[in-house]
């Protein structure tokens, strides 16, 4: 969402703004609905009886099942996403695979997109984000992580630290990690936010990608969260999450809709997760992240993401019209709130993001 009143920004300014807005998708996804239609279940294929607690436990244990398929997503967070200039960003700041500065990945947080997904276990994953004429691929094979941009013919390699958690169960989805924006990744984030106050129930079954699925519905009871409910379509046979939907409070349409349109069960061949840069490609090695350290304050549905410094930003060229001036005992700054997400940027460059009411961010800012 940009305005004709704002002139184009430089690559460096775009990169900085990208770092600011990429985490917006993070806590919006801690509760996590497009073009994926959850059809009523087929009574001819009845699902076995189960309980909400048993279904949650089975969902958490579904990571051993291999699969591949096509995923479509649609995000309508109401947050102005300003993709940076990939090439300019890389030239000015150097390669950093772990930073959310890839425009094709950041773009996943806005509008409709199609991805191919392959999952071979906790250390073998691959996602191809499909564009009109190109694609961006993310490969994980053990500790090796590659990102390939076919349009720019640039391959970036990062070796993950020992003990790194599986990408598809990251508790903090990031735009730079497309695997966290798949049904499996989003379901993992939702379960990380699940607390004892959440109402958990099973609605009438649905059908996703021609497979009967349970409809697990999570309804937060915290008054200060902007999340109304989360729907997870859980495959009746394998307990793989087939679709995830998130609704803001009182909304009839989901803010996020991510689901399979087709899926094939079974572990893909190991060759699918191996990447070798093509001849003539530019290969870069990613070092330690230069992004500000991110802290999660609180727990459950009212968690707040905090970054101590987002660097100098030319805000008047981006979101001045969307952000309102605010002040309090915590200081002064700007706030942006949508149906699902609230963003607070203080004048001393601190960033707070959450699927919460503004008062929660003001409290968090006052305690930091």
**Cα–Cα distance for residue pair 183/194, rounded to 1 Å:** 16
Structural domains of the chain, count = 2
On whether both 360 and 228 belong to a single domain, the answer is: no
What pLDDT digit, counting tens, does each position of 194-217 carry?
888 899 999 999 999 999 999 999
Least confident of 144-148, 152-156, 314-318: 314-318
Instruction: Give 88's Cβ-side CA count (13 Å radius).
Output: 13
Residue 9 is assigned to a structural domain of this protein: no
Mean pLDDT of 29-41: 42
Helix (H, G, I), strand (E, B) or coil at 29: coil
Confidence of residue 192 (pLDDT cuts 50, 70, 90): confident
What pLDDT digit, counting tens, does each position of 98-119 carry?
333 344 555 667 778 898 999 9
Residue 122 is assigned to a structural domain of this protein: yes
Residue 175 has pLDDT above 60, yes or no: no
Backbone angles phi, psi at 300, to 5 degrees: 70, -150
Which of 285, 313, 338 is the last residue in one of the domains?
A: 285
Residue 276 has pLDDT above 60, yes or no: yes
Residue 18 has pLDDT above 50, yes or no: no
pTM: 0.78
On whether both 207 and 354 belong to a single domain, the answer is: no
Residue 311's pLDDT is what? 54
Residue 56 is assigned to a structural domain of this protein: yes
Backbone angles phi, psi at 160, to 5 degrees: -70, 150
Q: What is the dihedral of CA 292, 294, 297, 303, to 10 degrees?
A: 120
On whether both 134 and 260 belong to a single domain, the answer is: yes
Residue 68 has pLDDT above 90, yes or no: yes
On whether both 208 and 315 belong to a single domain, the answer is: no
Give the residue numbers spanning the domain of 102.
Answer: 17-285
Least confident of 28-42, 130-144, 287-301, 350-364: 28-42
Residue 345 is assigned to a structural domain of this protein: yes
The alpha carbon of 7 is separated from its chain's Cα centroid by a whole number of angstroms, namely 29
On whether both 228 and 274 belong to a single domain, the answer is: yes
Residue 44 is assigned to a structural domain of this protein: yes
Residue 272's pLDDT is what? 93
Structure tokens that stand for 44 in this block: 């001819």
Mean pLDDT of 294-307: 84
On whether both 89 and 232 belong to a single domain, the answer is: yes
On whether both 303 and 338 belong to a single domain, the answer is: yes
**Cα–Cα distance for residue pair 116/250, rounded to 1 Å:** 32
Residue 253 has pLDDT above 60, yes or no: yes
Taking the CA atoms of the chain, what radius of gyration do you get in angstroms? Answer: 20
On whether both 120 and 74 belong to a single domain, the answer is: yes
Nearest to 87 by CA among 168, 1, 156: 156
Give the list of residues 6+ apart from residue 166 with CB closer than 8 angstroms, or none.
63, 122, 123, 125
Give the list of residues 6+ apart from residue 273 with CB closer than 8 angstroms, or none.
118, 120, 124, 125, 126, 139, 140, 141
Give the list of residues 6+ apart from residue 229 with CB closer than 8 angstroms, or none.
217, 218, 219, 220, 246, 247
On whether both 305 and 221 belong to a single domain, the answer is: no
**CATH of residue 28:** 2.50.20.10
Mean pLDDT of 16-28: 33
């Amino acid at each position: 969402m940009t305005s004709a009143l704002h002139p184009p920004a430089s690559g460096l300014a775009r990169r900085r703004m990208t770092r600011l807005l990429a985490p917006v998708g993070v806590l919006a996804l801690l509760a996590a609905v497009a073009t994926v239609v959850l059809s009523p279940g087929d009574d001819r294929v009845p699902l076995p009886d189960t309980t909400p607690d048993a279904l949650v436990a089975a969902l958490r244990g579904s990571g051993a099942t291999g699969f591949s398929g096509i995923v479509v997503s649609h995000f309508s967070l109401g947050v102005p996403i300003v993709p940076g200039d990939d090439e300019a960003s890389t030239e000015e700041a150097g390669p950093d695979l772990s930073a959310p500065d890839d425009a094709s990945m950041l773009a996943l947080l806005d509008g409709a997109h199609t991805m191919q997904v392959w999952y071979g276990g906790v250390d073998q994953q691959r996602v191809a984000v499909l564009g009109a004429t190109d694609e961006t691929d993310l490969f994980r094979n053990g500790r090796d992580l590659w990102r390939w941009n076919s349009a720019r013919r640039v391959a970036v390699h990062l070796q993950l630290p020992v003990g790194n958690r599986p990408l598809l169960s990251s508790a903090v989805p990031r735009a730079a990690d497309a695997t966290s924006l798949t049904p499996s990744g989003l379901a993992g984030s939702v379960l990380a936010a699940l607390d004892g106050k959440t109402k958990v129930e099973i609605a009438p079954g649905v059908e996703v990608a021609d497979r009967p699925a349970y409809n697990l519905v999570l309804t937060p009871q915290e008054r200060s969260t902007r999340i109304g409910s989360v729907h997870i379509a859980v495959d009746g046979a394998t307990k793989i999450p087939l679709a995830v939907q998130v609704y803001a409070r009182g909304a009839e349409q989901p803010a996020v809709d991510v689901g399979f349109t087709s899926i094939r069960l079974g572990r893909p061949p190991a060759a699918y997760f191996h990447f070798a840069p093509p001849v003539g490609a530019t290969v870069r090695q990613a070092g330690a992240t230069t992004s500000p350290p991110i802290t999660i304050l609180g727990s459950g549905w009212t968690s707040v993401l905090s970054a101590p410094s987002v660097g100098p930003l030319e805000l008047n060229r981006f979101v001045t019209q969307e952000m309102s001036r605010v002040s309090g005992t915590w200081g002064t700054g700007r706030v942006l709130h949508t149906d699902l997400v609230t963003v607070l940027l203080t004048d001393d460059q601190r960033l707070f993001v959450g699927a919460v009411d503004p008062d929660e961010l003001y409290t968090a800012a006052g305690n930091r």
